[in-house]
Structure 1
Amino acid sequence: MLFNSIDFAIFLPIVFLMYWFVTNKNLKLQNVLIVSSSYLFYGWWDWRFLSLIAFSTLIDYTIGLYLGRTSNTTKRKALLWISISVNLGFLGFFKYYNFFLDNFITAFSFFGTALSARSLSIVLPVGISFYTFQTLSYSIDVYRKKLEPTRDFVAFAAFVSFFPQLVAGPIERATNLLPQFYKKRIFNYTKAVDGLRQILWGLFKKMVIADNCAVFVNSIFDNHQDYSGSTLVLGAIFFAFQIYGDFSGYSDIAIGTARLFGFNLKQNFAFPYFSRDIAEFWRRWHISLSTWFRDYLYIPLGGSRVSKSKVIRNVFIIFIVSGFWHGANWTFIVWGTLNALYFLPLLLAHKNRHHIEVVAYDKKWPSIQSFLSMILTFGLTTFAWIFFRAENISHAFQYITGIFNISLFSIPEIRPTNVLVLLVFFIAIEWIGRRNQYAIETLGFQWKRPVRLAFYYALVIIILLFSKNENTFIYFQF
C-alpha cells in the first residue's frame, strides 16, 4: 500500500478513527490494532511475506527473553549469533543470492572453468532491509545490556511491524520506539496537526518534486547516448532531487503519520543538500541508517580510535557495506567506495566534525565560502548518484563519458521549465525552514492564519495539478 495511493487515503482515516474512538481506553487493544493494521498494510503488496515478519519477530522476541535469563557469556554470544544469522540470512537469500551466484560463475569462467548453476526467480520482499535491521538492533542492544528484554509480545510485534515506517524507515531503535508502546497514548490536537503538516510536505516532495524529476531522469538515463553533456548533467542533478524528494518525502509522511497516533519517530533527513562537506552530508542523509552502521559496525571495528591503516579500513568497510545494503549490484558498491574516498581525507585531517551547526544558522544567507562549499559538496554527491542510478557499471561509465566532451558547454536539448520553477520554490522553502525538523514545521506560525491556510491550500493545489500516477518509492526496492 503506497502512501500516495487512494488505498492509503482510505486506510489511514479508518485506522485513525478506530485507534482513538474504539480502542482508546485499552492500551493492549491499541497495540493489537497497530499490529493487525500493519500486517494488512504490508500484506496489501504480498501476503505471503507476512510470514517473514512474523518469524523474525518471534525469533528476536524469544532470543531477547533468553538473553535476559542468562549471564553466561558463551550462551549470550550464541544467542546473538542466532539472531544475526536468521536476520542476515533472510536478507542475504532474498536480496543477494543471485548476485553472489552470478559473480561466482563469472569468476570461474575468467580462469577458463565453465560452471553451470541455476539462478532463482526470487521476489524481494518489500522493506526487508529495514525491518531486519530494526529487529537485529533490538537483539544487539539487549545483548549489550542497553535495553531490558520485553515480555510484552504484542508491543514487540507492534514495534517490528509499525506500518508508518515498516517499508522504508526510518530504521528505529528499540530504545526509542519500543517503550512508547508501553505507555498510554492520549490524543494531542497540536501534535496531530503537526503530523498532518509534515505529511503534506512529504507528499509535495514525493508527488511534485520527485515524480516530476523522474520523468526527465528516466528519459535521459535510458537514452543517454542521444543527449549532450549538458543535458546529462541536468539529468544527474534532477536525479539528485528525485531521490531526495522521494526518500525524504517518504520519511516525512512516515514520521507525520506516526505522530497522528501519538508516536515520535526520529528525524531521518536534515536538509543534506545544504551540507558544506561530505562528512556533514552523511550526518544529514538517511540518518537512521548512517547511525546504525556507526553504532553496530564502525565503532565495534574500532572506529577512528585505532591506527591510521585500520581507520582507512573501517571507513571503506562501512561505506562499501552501506552501498551494498542498497542493492545487489556493483554500482552500489562503487557508489559506496566513492563516498568513502570523499570522506576519508576529512576524517584523517580531523575535519569530519568541522560543520556541526546548520549553515548560516543565525543569518539569512550563507557566506561565499559556505555557498561554494555547498556547491562543491552537491557536485560530488551528484556525481556519485550517477552510479546509484545507472543500471550497471558500463551504463554509468558511458553516461559519465557522455558528460565530459565539448557538448558539455552546449545548451541542453530539453526545456523542463515547470520542473525548474518547482525546484526553485522547493529549495527556497527548504532554505527558509532549514533550522526545523522539516521545512514547514514552524513556517506557518510566522504568518497570520489566512496566509498560513493559503500556503497549505496552495501546496494541495500544486500536488493535485502536478502529481503523476501512483509511482512507487525508490527505496522500496532496497
Structure 2
Amino acid sequence: MSFTTLPFLVLVALSVAAYYLLPQRVQWMALLAASMVFYCVGGGKTVLYVFYTAVIVYGSGLLLGRFNDLRRAAPKEEKKAITARYKPYRRAVVLVACLANFGLLYVLKYWNFTADLFQPLADQLRPGTQIPLSELVLPLGISFFMFQSVGYVIDVYRDKYAPEKNFAKLLLFVSFFPQMVQGPISRFNDLAPQLFARRSLDYTDLKYGIQLILWGYFKKMVIADRAAVLVNTVLDDPWSYSGSILAVGVLFYCIQLYGDFSGGIDITRGVARLFGIDLAENFRRPLFSTSLTDFWRRWHITLGAWMRDYLFYPLSLSKPFGKLGKFTRKHLKGKLGKILPTSLATFLVYFVIGIWHGANWRYVAFGFWNGGIITLSLLLAPYFLRWKQALRINDKSKGWHLFQLVRTNLLVFFGRYITRAPRFLTAVWMVKETFLHPNLPDLWNGTLMTLGLGGGDFLILFLGVATLLLAEWYQEKKGPIRPMLERQSPFLQWVAILVPLVVLFCFGVLRADYISSDFIYKQF
C-alpha cells in the first residue's frame, strides 16, 4: 500500500478516528490493527515474515530478561559469578536471534546474488551443477523491521530495559505501519512508551502532522515524481545520450532521491504525529553537509546510528581489533598506527551500509566508494591539517565553508552514478562519457526538451527545489520552522496548510499523465 494512494489516506483517517474514539487503555490496539491491514494489503502473505521476526525477538527478549533478573536479584557478592555463568547462554540467545533474522534476510535478499557469483565455480568443480535460486518474495520493509527488532534484542542483552512481555505490543513495535516503507529504525525505549501511552485528541498534533504530511507529499509528488520522468528517460537507456545529458540525468536523480526519501520521511513522521507519536529524526538537511561523514550523519540518521551502536562499537572494541591496535601501534609510526584499526572498522561499516542497499555489484562499489573516501580522509587528516596551516586557511571563513559544501556534494553526486546505473560497469562508462564526451551543446540545443519534461515542468521543478532549499536554509541557520509558524496568526497557520494542498493538487495529483512512482527506499 503506497503512501501516495487513496487507500492509504483512508486507512490513516480511519485509524486516527478509531484511535481517539477507543478507550485510552486499548488505543494501541487500533495502531496494531492498522499496521496489520497496511502490511496485509501491501505485502500479502509476507506478513508471516513480520510474525516470524516478532516471535523470534519476543522469545529471545524473555530469555534474556530472565537472565538479567537472576543477576539483578542475586546478592552483591554473587553477581559477578552469575554474570560469568550465564554469559555464554546470553550470547547464544543473541546469536540465534541474529542468525534467525539476518539469515532469513540473506536468503530473501542476497542468496540469488551469491548463487550467481558462485555458479561458474560450481560448474568447474562439477559440470552441470545448478545452484538453486530463491523464488521467495521480498517482504515490504524487511530491512527496517529486522534491524529494529535485532536492536531490541541486543539492548535487552545489554540490560538497557526490561523485555516486553505482551506479544501483541511487541508485534506493534515491530510492525508500526508508518515506518514500514523507509524507516526510521526506531529504538524500543524511544518508541514503545509512545505507542502505548494514553492520549486525548490534540489539535496541535493534528495540525503539525498534517503540515508535515503535506510538505512530504509536495517533495514526493511535485518534485521527486516529476524529476523521475527525466531520470528514467535518460538513465534507463544511457547509451543513447551524450556525457552532458548523462550528468543532467544523474543530477535529476539526486533531486528525485532527495525529494523522494525526505518526503517519505516527512509523511511517516506526520502520520505518526497524528497519533501523538514523535518518531526519531531520520533526515537533517544533508545538502548542507561539510564532509561525506557529515552527510551520512544527516542522511538516514537512524541507519547510521544503528550501524554505529551495533556494528562499529562492537567491532572497534572487540578483542581482535584490540590486538590489531597493539600490533599497528608497535609496528607503524605516528598517528597511522593509532587510528588504523578504527579506520578499518569505519570502512567496514560504510561497506555494510552499501551492501544494505541491495544485492548488486553497484552497491558493493557504492560501499567501497563511501567507505574508501571516509577512511582515507581519516588516515590523511594530519596531512590535510598541515596543508591548511601552510596555506593559512581559516576554518571559520565563508569561503572554506562553501568549498566544503561543494566538495561534499560533488562526492555524493558521483556516488549517485554508481547507485542509479543499471550495472557498475555502466556507471564507470557513464562517468567516462561525462568527462571525455560531454557534447555541451546538448544542454542548449533543445535536447533537454526531448527527455519527457516540458518547459513548464522545468519551471515547476526549479521553483519547487528553490522552495525546498529556502526552507532548509532557514532551518539550518535559524532552527525549526514550526516555532516560527506558531507565532503567526491562526489565519497564516491555515495558509501554511492550504497553500501546499493547492500546489499539490494543481502540480502533483491533477497534472497531466501523472503516475506516482514507488518510494525508492521501499526496495531496500
Both structures adopt the same fold (TM-score exceeding 0.5) = yes
Q: Which residue of 1 aligns with 2:79?
A: none
Mean Cα deviation higher: 115-124 or 56-65: 115-124
Q: Which residue of 2 aligns with 1:361?
A: none
Mean Cα deviation higher: 292-301 or 402-411: 402-411
Which residue, out of 434, 442, 462, partners 1:403? 434
Residue 414 of structure 1 aligns to a residue in which SS? helix
* Residue 475 of structure 2 corresponds to residue 433 of structure 1: yes
Q: Which residue of 2 aligns with 1:61?
A: 58
How far does residue 152 in structure 1 lie from its aligned partner after superposition? 2.3
Partner Cα distance (1:380, 1:240) in 2: 12
Q: Which residue of 2 aligns with 1:263?
A: 277
Q: Are the equivalent residues in 1 in contact too, given 2:140–2:180 (CA < 8 A)?
A: no
Which residue, out of 442, 448, 452, partners 1:414? 448
- Structure 1, residues 218-268: CA drift from partner, whole Å, max 9, x if none? 111022222222221111111112111111111111111111112121100
Q: Are the equivalent residues in 2 in contact too, given 1:212–1:466 (CA < 8 A)?
A: no
Q: Which residue of 1 aligns with 2:412?
A: 381
2:29 partner letter: V
Which residue, out of 445, 451, 454, partners 2:495? 454
How far does residue 8 in structure 1 lie from its aligned partner after superposition? 1.0
Q: Which residue of 2 aligns with 1:98?
A: 112
How far does residue 386 in structure 1 lie from its aligned partner after superposition? 1.2
Q: Which residue of 2 aligns with 1:473?
A: 519
* Residue 25 of structure 2 corresponds to residue 17 of structure 1: no
Partner Cα distance (2:256, 2:201) in 1: 35
Q: Which residue of 2 aligns with 1:363?
A: none
* Residue 344 of structure 2 corresponds to residue 341 of structure 1: no
How far does residue 426 in structure 1 lie from its aligned partner after superposition? 2.1
2:209 partner letter: G
How has the CA–CA distance of structure 1 residues 456 and 87 changed in structure 2, closer, same or farther, with 3 Å as cutoff? same
1:10 partner letter: V
Partner Cα distance (1:162, 1:186) in 2: 20
Which residue, out of 254, 257, 267, partners 1:240? 254
Q: Normalising to structure 1: TM-score of the pair?
A: 0.90
Q: Normalising to structure 2: TM-score of the pair?
A: 0.83
- Structure 1, residues 268-309: CA drift from partner, whole Å, max 9, x if none? 000001111111111101000000001000111116995433
Q: Are the equivalent residues in 1 in contact too, given 2:205–2:275 (CA < 8 A)?
A: no
* Residue 206 of structure 2 corresponds to residue 168 of structure 1: no
Partner Cα distance (1:185, 1:337) in 2: 47
Q: Are the equivalent residues in 1 in contact too, given 2:361–2:423 (CA < 8 A)?
A: yes
Partner Cα distance (2:478, 2:271) in 1: 18
1:66 partner letter: L
Partner Cα distance (2:483, 2:252) in 1: 28
- Structure 1, residues 82-125: CA drift from partner, whole Å, max 9, x if none? 11011101211110110111101145568996642332333211
Mean Cα deviation higher: 288-297 or 455-464: 455-464
- Structure 1, residues 36-73: CA drift from partner, whole Å, max 9, x if none? 11010011123211111112111111111111112511
Q: Are the equivalent residues in 1 in contact too, given 2:225–2:516 (CA < 8 A)?
A: no
* Residue 488 of structure 2 corresponds to residue 463 of structure 1: no
How far does residue 436 in structure 1 lie from its aligned partner after superposition? 7.6
Q: Are the equivalent residues in 1 in contact too, given 2:62–2:163 (CA < 8 A)?
A: yes
How has the CA–CA distance of structure 1 residues 446 and 217 changed in structure 2, closer, same or farther, with 3 Å as cutoff? farther
Q: Which residue of 2 aligns with 1:191?
A: 205
Q: CA RMSD in A?
A: 2.3
1:186-335 aligned within 5 A? 186-302=200-316, 306=325, 307-335=338-366
Partner Cα distance (1:158, 1:449) in 2: 36
* Residue 31 of structure 2 corresponds to residue 34 of structure 1: yes
Q: Are the equivalent residues in 1 in contact too, given 2:223–2:461 (CA < 8 A)?
A: yes
Partner Cα distance (2:515, 2:238) in 1: 24
Q: Number of paired residues? A: 461
- Structure 1, residues 189-229: CA drift from partner, whole Å, max 9, x if none? 21221111111111111111111111111111022222222
Partner Cα distance (2:54, 2:139) in 1: 16
Q: Are the equivalent residues in 1 in contact too, given 2:347–2:374 (CA < 8 A)?
A: no
2:268 partner letter: A
How far does residue 421 in structure 1 lie from its aligned partner after superposition? 3.0
Tell me the percent identity: 33
Structure 1 runs, 4 residues or longer, greater than 6 Å off: 110-114
Unaligned stretches of 5+ in structure 1?
355-365
Q: Are the equivalent residues in 2 in contact too, given 1:206–1:250 (CA < 8 A)?
A: yes
* Residue 162 of structure 2 corresponds to residue 148 of structure 1: yes
Partner Cα distance (1:398, 1:108) in 2: 31
- Structure 1, residues 373-430: CA drift from partner, whole Å, max 9, x if none? 2122111101101111112112212221221124254342214343233222222222
Residue 320 of structure 1 aligns to a residue in which SS? helix
Residue 262 of structure 1 aligns to a residue in which SS? coil
Partner Cα distance (1:335, 1:58) in 2: 34
Structure holding more helix per residue: 2
Unaligned stretches of 5+ in structure 2?
72-85, 326-337, 386-396, 450-457, 509-513
How has the CA–CA distance of structure 1 residues 118 and 82 changed in structure 2, closer, same or farther, with 3 Å as cutoff? closer
Q: Which residue of 2 aligns with 1:3?
A: 3
Which residue, out of 400, 419, 424, partners 2:466? 424
